[in-house]
């Protein structure tokens, strides 16, 4: 099931991510975080975690080392 999420991230990376290249302020990057999250927590919880991470990845946040736990 989590493969759907991983595939979505790869699709994003190949299209939008390649068109608008930005370096994420977090490590691992948001897309890698999303992959890790759905792998470890399943599609639903993983997606929610990834969504929350994306919201945190805004110009006001500090960024930094933030792996899935």
Task: Scan for tokens 């990057």, then name that residue.
Answer: 29
Q: Is 1 in the site for another protein (CB under 8 A)?
A: no
CB 2 within 8 A of CB 25: no
Orientation of helix 2-14 relative to helix 30-56, angle to 10°: 90
**Of 48 and 54, which CB lies nearer to another protein in the complex structure?**
54
Q: Is 46 in the site for another protein (CB under 8 A)?
A: no
- Residue of the chain from 5, 9, 30, 37 that contacts another protein (CB under 8 A): 30
**Residues near another protein (CB under 8 A):** 15-16, 18-30, 54-67, 69
């Amino acid at each position: 099931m989590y493969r759907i999420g991983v595939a979505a991230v790869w699709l994003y990376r190949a299209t939008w991510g390649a068109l608008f290249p930005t370096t994420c302020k977090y490590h691992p990057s948001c897309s890698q975080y999303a992959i890790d999250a759905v792998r470890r927590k399943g599609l639903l919880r993983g997606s929610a975690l990834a969504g929350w991470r994306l919201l945190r990845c805004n110009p006001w946040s500090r960024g930094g080392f933030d792996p899935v736990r």
